[in-house]
Amino acid sequence: MKRKTPPTNRAGTESLSFETAPNTTIIDLDNSDKDQSELTIKHSWVWNHFKVSPDSASAVCQVVRRGGIICATQLKRDKSGSTKNFHGHLLKIHQLAKPKLLKKTKKSSHIDMEKWSKSGGSKKIKSLFTTDAWTAPNVTAFMAVTAHYLDLNFKMKDLTLAVPHIQGAHTGKMFAHLFYDLLKKFGCIDKIHTITADNASTNNKMAQELSLQIQSFNPATHLLGCVAHVINLAAQAGIAALGTLDEAEEGEELSTNVMGASTPINEPAPQPTQNLMGINFMTTKPNGVNVNAESILKRIHSMCTYPELVNKNINCLEIDVATRWNSTFHMFCPAITLKESCIHYCQSQPETCRFLLTVDEWDQAKNVMSLLKPLSEATNMLCGSKFPTLNTALPVYMILMKHLHMARQGLYDQEQLINPAAQMIAKIDQ
């Protein structure tokens, strides 16, 4: 029997020789003057287009340009092993992107926008439009415009018309200008049924500007707010209010004058002290006030993030992210389900003991999850991508408000959930 030997990794042992053109451009993307340590080649698609120098400190682009000339641009390798500069060079200079990313964006149901517009597809029926603006991590702003309509087979189609770059101030007039230009390009100016956007004041101003350019567009009836976005804002407002009581009651101290007693003469001015009536100093157990929900949230978050920081091989629980809708609810669910495992993990080492929750705190975490669960379910129901959801917005709103009003009245017998529920109601009613 022949022995099977694993193939040797020649990338780290053999020196790669190459000839650089006389006009080679060297781009130094690392300002550090320290000596670079030996770097190993990472398993990245960029190495299909780069060749490492003999000293492993840089790499030369091997992309063949027009005319059969190799690019030969030399980029300095980052000491951390990052290939971000190589990605940027391939995308900016050669318009090459990660193959897996291209596969994700290339769908079988993709429709060519130009063909769709020229064939008259945009003129047959009314279309609904959604628009959203955001700022990328590189501080570049974009605005996406998507058209939605039902085809002849009553199947819902979603077409992203464009994602234009926003330059200048983010004003309603600027958004209206970009939106109108896209409608004009695809022949959809007179085919607007409604526009759905988030509840930013800029979108209201955009609608007013569009009404000046499109006579049939009425902001009062043609601009719809995103109910799921409102629910997300309400959830964030409620989470921010966790662990607090009514501000008018919290922090007020009893006065002897109010109680009918006279003020002592020559009494020194009272020194500022912590409020003994605050939730952190309660020793009794009325309605769970002695359990700080805000502290529970922070400790569960720390318990979820700690394994990711100390050991990448450990599968940690889902972490809440401010920009991800209902992420706090999705963090609480597995933590409560794996309660015993979380307790065992926190007790296993001194570093994680500070994340340990008491029995009362676990009960309070369940109450917080019960408060947030209907908001998550409502969001999932309203974010259906394969069917219209406008007809479900009103029933969902009514059921959700009923749930929040019951929570504000003490549905869970937990006083700390009254103020968060009130904040959610106020945010939804805005």
19 vs 87, more confident: 87
% of the chain at pLDDT higher than 90: 7
Task: Enumerate residues 6+ apart whose C-beta is below 8 A from 120.
Answer: none
Task: Give the mean model confidence (pLDDT) for residues 316-339.
Answer: 76
Strands 50-52 and 58-61 turn out to be antiparallel
Domain edges within the chain: 26-99, 113-224, 284-428
Res. 95 pLDDT band, cuts 50 70 90: confident
Cβ neighbourhood burial of 354 (10 Å; 0-12, 13-18, 19+): exposed
Alpha-carbon gap, residue 165 to 135, rounded angstroms: 10
* pLDDT tens, position by position, 152-175: 788 888 888 888 888 888 888 999
- Sheet of strand 156-162: strand arrangement: 156-162, 141-150, 127-135, 192-197, 223-225
- What is the b/e burial string over 26-38, where b = at least 16 CB atoms within 10 angstroms of the residue's CB? eeeeeeeeeeeee
Query: In the structure encoding, which two tokens stand for residue 54, read together?
Result: 């003999």
Alpha-carbon gap, residue 147 to 165, rounded angstroms: 18
Res. 211 pLDDT band, cuts 50 70 90: very high
pLDDT of residue 170: 84
pLDDT of residue 386: 65
Task: Give the mean model confidence (pLDDT) for residues 260-277.
Answer: 40
pLDDT of residue 7: 52
Residue with tokens 């058209």: 147
Residue 74: what are its φ and ψ, rounded to 5°? -100, 125
Res. 92 pLDDT band, cuts 50 70 90: confident
pLDDT of residue 180: 93
Strands (E), 136-205: 141-150, 156-162, 192-197
* pLDDT tens, position by position, 362-395: 888 888 888 888 888 888 888 766 666 777 888 8
Res. 307 pLDDT band, cuts 50 70 90: low
Helix 390-408 × helix 227-240 angle, to 10°: 20
* pLDDT tens, position by position, 402-414: 999 888 887 655 6
Assess whether pLDDT exceeds 50 at residue 318. yes
Residue with tokens 């972490």: 319
Strands 50-52 and 127-135 turn out to be unpaired
Res. 39 pLDDT band, cuts 50 70 90: very low
Res. 254 pLDDT band, cuts 50 70 90: very low
Which numeric CATH code is attached to 113-224?
3.30.420
pLDDT of residue 191: 84
Alpha-carbon gap, residue 116 to 124, rounded angstroms: 11
* pLDDT tens, position by position, 98-139: 776 655 555 444 455 555 555 555 555 788 898 988 887 777
| Global pTM exceeds 0.85 | no
Res. 279 pLDDT band, cuts 50 70 90: very low
Alpha-carbon gap, residue 87 to 319, rounded angstroms: 28
